[in-house]
A and B are shown apart, each in its own frame.
Chain A
Amino acid sequence: MQDRIDVHPTHTLAGFQLRVGKAFPFGATTVPGGVNFSVFSRFATSCTLVLFEKGEPEPFGEIPFPDEFRIGNVYTMVVFGLNIEQLEYGYRMDGPFDPAHGQRFDTAKILLDPYARVIGGRDTWGVQPDWSDAYHHRGRLAFDDFDWEHDRPLELPIQDLVIYEAHVRSLTAHPSAGVRHPGTFAAIRDKIPYLQELGVNCLELMPIYEFDEWENSRISPVTGKTLYNYWGYSTVGFFAPKAGYAASGRHGMQVDELKTLVKELHAHGIEIMLDVVFNHTAEGNERGPTISFRGLDNQTYYMLTPEGYYYNFSGTGNTLNCNNPIVRNMVIDCLRYWASEYHIDGFRFDLAAILGRDTDGTPLANPPLLESLAYDPILAKCKLIAEAWDAGGLYQVGSFPAYGRWAEWNGKYRDTVRGWIKGDAGLVGDIATRIAGSPDLYPTRGPMASINFITAHDGFTLRDLVSYNEKHNEANGEDNNDGANDNFSWNSGVEGETDDPAINALRRRQMKNALVVLLVSQGVPMILMGDEVARTQYGNNNTYCHDDELNWFDWAQIEHEAELLRFTRHCIAFRQAHPALRRDRHFTGQDEVGSGYPDIGWHGTEIGQPDWSAESLEIAFMLCGKHVPRGGSHDNYLYIALNTGTDTRTFALPALPDGLKWHVAINTGAPAPEDSWEIGQEPVLSDQGSFLVGGRSVAALVGR
């Protein structure tokens, strides 16, 4: 093939051979013979490209962009003859320093490219950086020629997902994980068999975009340990995977390592979802570091008060200006990149209500960013999940601008189920609504809009939910003032760890109750990493800063808590075996298929007589499997009874069609191993007319 004519330099400057670049794509891209650089700034007066040998303190070259290379507000340039594996690059932007008017240009700062696909500087987790370095987070080039073979996103129907929320380090950092590279993407591959056996089919990773674990790091006055920005909800660069999460980060190969993880997960039928944080950046407020956006174009990238200070709807110092058209395009470019280049199956948007705010913070009725994402051609099959609130008081659960596409973390589900499990009165109607897929919140979107969860990284683990009344966050070094105060938790009789066998038995049963309710609810269940083995954070409900056992999955627990693990597996299998639990539309309460039963029928201890009174602590329902609206084979009949009172109750069982019998699949009131059964092994009930449900217990029967 003939050479392209643009492989030839046209300019020489500062000892480098150059040519005018291309504005698209933004970022640094390899082109024949060189590298194309393209960076935006609206208010800068000039821009200089700064080039480093990997890891060197001083640059080996600085090349001012010739003004003739600028197109609109985009500086472009091709530089020839660079060693793309050894190159680190940044920019200096000149322009006014006038904070009152939102301008913070400073040529002394070397700035990270917002579109950098690889970021060096924190290559190995927890290695103390050289604080004297003038350029900490360094843009690098990425190879984009990964060999995916036949892989592509799985496109599982969202209602079929069982999401498992995990943190890359937490999953395998504990010595008990028995992996070669603890706390890395590679190590997660070693745990795929565990995830498969558990039965989850979507791994949701807490933030994996490059962040700085050293941001606001400090020594805990309580424990003397280093406290990190461990969770990583503070993005340095939106296009780069966290190098310190890759065993190969020291070789700059985190892109390949993460892609290999995605490919392996897909090969085992597991989707991967990313928790993405577009509401703010790691630059903090006016006292924070200048890493990238602040120095490139402060006024464009951040929401600023009329006085030039940072709006703080995120609770972390600044707010990304997501509905500015420039920033909006960057977010779309970013998600398209992760969906197409990394085969990511879905995204969970942290504090997503912020993405619906105007550039001055006002909530928008029709936010262009959310609309664009909903209709984007590349993201068309990606799951989009909103954490539909923000730290500025905007709470949009049920009202998030969804365009028929967005699902939501259902905070009302969490709070209702927590209250019900601990035995609060006045919730029977609410728990029925949550189990039915929250039709009150999502009347048109259907149950798939509801991401159901009882626990998540924010807040208590499941074990702590049944072991603590109050948060115990002293180890965070903030005098227990951080973290949520409304936990809807109950310690089951005594605060914290105990040797009392009766209390421990109750706690185990309460955990089982929560898990079975989660897994028989319409909507999409999400399980927090480790809840299946009773992981504890010792009452800490905000462990964002701990790189230790407070967060790590202790793999010895799969032996110690084998009973709960087995129970969880059975509950997940029960859900996956019964499409009636995974509907794509709300119940009607009618018999629309002529089966003789409505799609859902509500019952109390007497058939057809649910007790909806404020004092009621029991409810039961029957699902008719002939109503499953998604084609395919019909499901069995299911009957589920919840008794959150302290006394055993006798539930009369609805009659089944001739020839069918009720079998017990799950009964948290029975001691293991009779608390749950393998699919197909469920024992038939000798009494087909009624079933005893113990105090604080849940039972699930299958009629076949």
Chain B
Amino acid sequence: MTVTMATNGAVTVASLTGEIDASTAPAIQQQLNPLVMPGAKVVLDLADVPYMSSAGLRLLLSIYRQIAGAGGKIALAAVVEDIRDTMSVTGFLKFFVVFDTVAEAVASLAA
């Protein structure tokens, strides 16, 4: 499980790679913590995340709450269909704006 950060103007793109579950979520949370800043604009690129457990989805929502609480914005990009479906049926999806590509997500947050 890795997290790669890239800056695109005012927007930070965090690309996650690997499965996210109870065993990997705490480490990812730590790596994403620095992004929680007032007015932060964050895109989570999930193209290379094939599976997210319940704990993984909770991590997403927790980050959303932190960034939104700090007056920032977060968007998800390239969520694989199975995860998107699970997020939909379990209610996690409605908290997020989701884009098909990172570029669209960046453009939206930068606007």
Contacts and interface: CB of A to CB of B under 8 A. Distances in A.
Contact of A263 (B65, B85, B91, B92): B91
Contacts of B91: 147, 256-257, 259-260, 263-264
Contacts of A256: 54, 57, 90-92
Contacts of A184: 89
Nearest to B93: A260
A83 B89 contact: no
Interface string B72-111: 0000000000000110111110010000000000000000
Given A147-B95, A252-B54, A256-B54, A85 B21 contact: yes
A84 interface: yes
Nearest to A142: B54
Contact of B58 (A83, A145, A185, A247): A145
A115 B89 CA distance: 25
B1 interface: no
A246 B89 contact: yes
Contact of B54 (A85, A147, A260): A85
Which of the listed residues A84, A85, A86, A247 has the most CB atoms from chain B within 10 Å of its own CB? A85
Contacts of A248: 86, 89-90
Contacts of B86: 248, 251, 253
Interface in A175-213: 180-181, 184-186
B50 to A, nearest CB: 13
Contacts of A259: 91
B35 to A, nearest CB: 20
Contacts of B58: 143, 145
A301 to B, nearest CB: 31
A186 B89 contact: yes
Q: How large is the interface on B (under 10, 10 to 19, 20 to 34, 35 or more residues)?
A: 10 to 19
Interface in A259-308: 259-260, 263-264
Given A253-B86, A256-B91, A147 B61 contact: yes
B94 to A, nearest CB: 9
A145 B23 CA distance: 18
A253 B54 contact: yes
B22 interface: yes
Nearest to B92: A256
B28 interface: no
A86 B89 contact: no
B96 to A, nearest CB: 12
Interface string B54-70: 11011001000100000
Nearest to B22: A85
A186 B95 CA distance: 17
B53 interface: yes
Contacts of A253: 54, 57, 86, 89-90
A678 B89 CA distance: 35
B90 A260 contact: yes
A259 B61 CA distance: 16
A252 B89 CA distance: 12
A349 B111 CA distance: 55
Given A181-B89, A256-B92, A257-B91, A83 B54 contact: no
A185 B91 CA distance: 11
Contacts of A83: 22-23
Contacts of B90: 248, 253, 256-257, 260
A264 to B, nearest CB: 8
A357 B61 CA distance: 47
Contacts of A252: 54
A418 B54 CA distance: 49
Contact of B89 (A84, A143, A145, A247): A247
A79 B89 CA distance: 32
B22 A257 contact: no
Nearest to A254: B90
Nearest to B61: A147
B22 A251 contact: no
B88 A86 contact: no
A251 B61 contact: no
A355 to B, nearest CB: 33
Given A145-B58, A246-B89, A252-B54, A86 B95 contact: no
Given A185-B89, A264-B91, 8 more contacts: A85-B21, A85-B23, A85-B55, A147-B61, A253-B57, A253-B86, A253-B90, A259-B91
17 contacts: A83-B23, A86-B22, A143-B55, A143-B58, A145-B58, A147-B91, A186-B88, A248-B86, A248-B90, A252-B54, A253-B54, A253-B57, A253-B90, A257-B89, A257-B91, A260-B91, A263-B91
Interface of A: 83-86, 143, 145, 147, 180-181, 184-186, 246-248, 251-253, 256-257, 259-260, 263-264
